[in-house]
Structure 1
Amino acid sequence: MEGRRQLTLQTVDLTASFMVWVALSSLLPSIRQDIDVPASQVGLVTAVPVVLGSILRVPMGHWAGLFGARTVFLTSFAALLVPVWFLSEASTTADLLMGGMFLGIAGAVFSVGVTSLPKYFPSRRHGFVNGVYGFGNMGTALSTWLAPEAASAIGWRDAMKLYLVLLGALIIVNFALGDRREPRTRASAIRQLRIVATDTRLWALSLFYFVTFGAFVALTVYLPSFLTSHYGMSETDAGAATSTFIVLAAGVRVLGGWLGDRLDCYRLLAGAFAALALGAGVLAAAPGLPTYLAGIYLIGIACGIGNGAVFKLVPLHFAEQAGPANGIVSMMGGLGGFFPPLALSASTTTFGTEAIGLAAFGAFSLACLAMTLAMHRR
């Protein structure tokens, strides 16, 4: 009973956290009407929340094991009140970069649930449980859909302040319903890191998540601006298309975890990377909008299956070092979301097209495909 309650609560926590995490990128089209953000800085502004949100995932995973999910979620939500308010009062690109960096705390909490929740369930259900928790990724869809609507109605500054209300509600709910008796670990973080750092499986899973979750995050923050500037979509329509991508990827992640409990995860990952390479090829062809969206949604399905399979394997291989292992793998996934927007911008600036950057991503996916097949045979 407690496990189900914590699964529900922490999935809600992750959903709301991811809403806050992408608040800046979701509102950026409206913000740019008020603040002169140079085109060369757009990619950096949308990507900067990913940096701290990735790096903090390692200590967040350890703290979740040490102090329990309730304490870490409460502390994180309280800390987020400051950057959200700061962004609502921003007047320069530098302000956006500063506030956006600390907004990354919202993305870091992912490693809290994947460390905490497996304690409540048998190992045969860990893939499904982490998949359900990972469905909280749809919080990014809610922001990309609702934030532009709110900005149109009340202005982007007041729309940003609505996230303060959300954070306040989360603090109250977690204080009341968080598990005060969650089992804790007192193992040394340094000792656990030494153990996992020498295991090649950890770095392989980190690479796989770097690609699958990185592509999900990158497209989440990149699509709203790209669809409006390149295809002439309205902010609302671009937000809706991006939300569809996010909901699809988040929903399929549950399926990926469920399949990971029943099938060979490395075969699942091989199929996901093949689909990612195909999707990248479709986008590189610079098709019309319907075909482009089909390629995006194919990538979303592949990301969901891959993300679910990876987080079936992490608790399976690293049950005794769950905090550091979850933190490192999820950190690499977050960092994976930082580089693609910059690479696509650089490809456009240098070659006049995104095709080169997309081709590089496709080649990277094929390399991961080869690795998963080799690990399956071994």
Structure 2
Amino acid sequence: MSLRSFLKSGHAPTLFSAFLYFDLSFMVWVLLGPLGVAIAASLHLNPAQKGLMVATPLLAGAALRLVFGVLVDHIGPRRAGIIGQILVIAGLSLAWLLGVRDLNQVLMLAPVLGVAGASFAVALPLASRWYPKERQGLALGIAGLGNCGTALSALFAGSLAKAFGWINVVGLTVLPLAVAFVVYLVLVRDPPQRPPARTLAQYVGVLRQPDCWCLMALYGVTFGGFSGLASSLTIYCNAEYHLGPVIAGAFTAACMFAGSLVRPLGGALADRFGGVNTLVGVYGLAAVVLGLASFHHASPVLALAPLLAAMMALGAGNGAVFQLAPQRFGSEIGVVTGLVGATGGLGGFCLASTLGVAKQLTGAYQPGFLGFAALAICAQAALLILKGRWRFALPSLAGASVPATVQESRA
């Protein structure tokens, strides 16, 4: 399949706009992490407060993903995206104009940043529904590369804060968001066919099935670990290895880029070896490297290796979980996607806040890392149990090679 034929099969301007919207929204969602060193110094925050500060937008994003999923169902993804972008631009502009003077006011930004994190629920259906089923995987892969926006924040926010002050960085982010908003208004068109709106009864019905809770928990560990580390690594590198915000941001950006880029690889490995088999390996690797990352190393370069490996393992796990979801819940995949996506943000909140609390109570980040490594081991054990049950009821989930599943949730 040529790129030209792929682009002609859908609506390329909408696909590009969905990627740009997703990318810059994710940049904003984790903004407090790269700015955390400067904010903490300005407001005299302790480690637990720093952990809460970077974790709260992840929790808000988790809840708002469900809200925006419902909006997409009822008013269409284009209008839902317009509403989300207006709220984020207005909220950041107001924070910049009025100023942020204490932790409570910082936390008031969390819902605004959470709206940016909820862009997942808008951008992916906006991109995929324009393309035929056999090409939705590529469309979602392109739109889903917006995960790399987290690295943009880590790469540039620290140096901009050093030059202009952290509160002005909050205002400066409005500029690229405004450009993306104009592009969105001009280029985006709603897909010609809209699936029927999901009802509350559908959500409740799916939640009665244990396998739904299993998938939610699995994604809570993979995307939770990825987003939690993305929000925390700049503060961690500064506190543990005394790196300046700019260098710490560069370390964080390297980890985020690596974790984002291997997400499609996780899906491909799941297609080849089976989602369960892939995730068993992913969780085992994540547990080992998170355990190694928990120790204080002789240099930040040595510390970077296990952190980079952890982000890559968790990023691959994100793709593998969404390879399992449409196989297990083919007719209910829209509902399951919303629920699973929401628990990813919840897991990020748990990791980021736990790291801060561990540092506050024990003087070290190690208990927080080891606690999340233990969760990865628990997830691996649960998968091995599920594999035995699925081997008979759902052999495609437990088996080795399965055909590529092209569904909206894949990215």
1:347 to 358, 365, 374: 358
The 1:174/1:261 distance shift into structure 2, 3 A limit, reads farther
2:220 to 201, 207, 210: 210
Q: Residues 202-243 of structure 1: CA distance to partner in whole angstroms, max 9, x if unpaired?
A: 211111110011111111111111111210111111000000
Do residues 367 (structure 1) and 378 (structure 2) align? yes
* Alpha-carbon spacing, 1:79–1:136, altered in 2? closer, same or farther (3 Å): same
Equivalent-residue separation in structure 2 for 1:117 and 1:351 (angstroms): 46
Residue 129 of structure 1 deviates from its aligned partner by 4.4
SS of the residue 2:43 aligns to: coil
Instruction: Please list the CA deviations of residues 327-360 of structure 1 after superposition, one character each: whole Å capped at 9, or x if unmatched.
Output: 1111100010001122222323333333233222
| AA at the equivalent of 2:342 | M
How far apart, in 2, do the equivalents of 1:29 and 1:55 lie? Answer: 26
| TM-score, normalised relative to structure 2 | 0.85
**What SS does the corresponding residue of 1:183 show, helix, strand or coil?**
coil
1:9-51 deviation digits (Å, cap 9, x = unpaired): 2222111101111222222222334333344311111111112
Count of aligned positions: 378
Deviation at 1:4, TM superposition (A): 4.6
Aligned pair 1:99/2:106, yes or no?
Answer: no
Aligned Cα root-mean-square deviation (Å):
2.2
What residue number does 1:330 align with?
A: 341
TM-score, reference length from structure 1:
0.92
Cα distance, 1:270 vs structure 2: 1.1
Which residue, out of 86, 95, 102, partners 2:94? 86
Per-residue deviation, 1:124: 5.6
C-alpha change, 1:129 and 1:373, in structure 2 (3 Å) is: farther
Preserved contact between residue 253 and residue 305 of structure 1 (Cα < 8 Å): yes
Identify the residue that residue 259 of structure 1 maps to in structure 2.
269
Structure 1 gap ranges (5+): none
Cα distance in 2 between the residues matched to 1:159 and 1:349: 28
* 8 Å contact kept, 1:253–1:308: yes
Mapped partners of 1:62, 1:101: distance in 2: 17
**CA distance in structure 2 between the partners assigned to 1:78 and 1:327 by the alignment:** 22
Change beyond 3 A, Cα 1:122–1:286: farther
Which residue of the other structure, out of 174, 179, 195, is the alignment partner of 1:185?
A: 195
Structure 2 match to 1:229: 239
1:287 and 2:310 aligned: no
Deviation at 1:100, TM superposition (A): 2.6
Aligned equivalent of 1:75: 83
Provide the secondary structure at the position in 2 that maps to 1:23. Answer: coil
Question: What amino acid maps onto 1:198 in structure 2?
Answer: R
Match of 1:42 in 2: 50
SS in 2 for 1:225: helix
Q: Tell me the equivalent position of 1:240.
A: 250
8 Å contact from structure 1 (residues 127, 260) kept in 2: no
Alpha-carbon contact 2:52-2:356 (below 8 Å) kept? no
Distance in 1 (CA, whole Å) between partners of 2:212 and 2:137 is 17
Distance 1:349 1:86, change over 3 A: same
Q: Which residue of 2 aligns with 1:24?
A: 32
- Per mean C-alpha deviation after superposition, the further-off stretch among 61-70 and 211-220 is 61-70
- Per-residue CA deviations over 1:42-65 (Å, capped at 9, x if unaligned) read 111111111211101112223223
Range moving further from structure 2, 226-235 or 259-268: 259-268
* Range that drifts further, 357-366 or 221-230: 357-366
Q: Distance in 2 between matches of 1:206 and 1:127?
A: 21
Aligned-partner residue type, residue 49 of structure 1: P
Unaligned runs of 5+ in 2: 1-7, 391-411
Q: Equivalents in 2 of 1:127, 1:16: separation in Å? A: 22
